[in-house]
Amino acid sequence: MSEQQLAALGLPPIDQVGFVVKDLDKAIAQYDALFGPFTTMDAQVPSADFRGREASCELKLAFGRSGNLEIELIQWVSGESPHREFIDNGSEGMQHLRFRVDNADTWIEKLGAEGYRSIWYKRWSEDTVFAYLERDNDPLMIEILQMPS
């Protein structure tokens, strides 16, 4: 999707680029000079909707920056998630672009008209939601995040 198409849809600027890696410590060492320093955390995602079924996963995360752009490094640890599929398919590297929005469900519907479908969805609270969206013949996913500032 081009910048013009994103603008036509009304999406805000990209605020995060997500990379899936096999070894988080190695990736941090590799990218620290470009995007560091990184902060790390272990993440549990319980009871998300993953491809139409309930699934949980555990991830190791690291967050760096390039100006206003957040760089997320993600190591899959266990469970079902798009990150596991990415690694299982022999991939490693850039996996998604994230957009922060006011209403995730509205954006999932709008992007559906562009051929995207939600494959991983979690509502943490009334005002905090994330979703990963994919479309056919496009290896790059979109993450939609609704979260108070």
Looking at residue 9, what is its pLDDT? Answer: 78
In this prediction, residue 105 carries a pLDDT of: 97
Contacts of residue 10, Cβ cutoff 8 Å, sequence gap at least 6: none
In this structure, which amino acid lies at residue 45?
Answer: V
Q: Looking at 1-137, which runs of residues are DSSP E strands?
A: 16-21, 39-50, 53-66, 69-79, 93-100, 117-125, 128-135
* Tens-place pLDDT, residues 12-65: 999 999 999 999 999 999 999 999 999 999 999 999 999 999 999 999 999 999
Cα-Cα-Cα-Cα dihedral sign, residues 76, 79, 85, 89: positive
Query: pTM of this prediction?
Result: 0.93
Q: Which domains does the chain carry?
A: 3-146 (3.10.180.10)
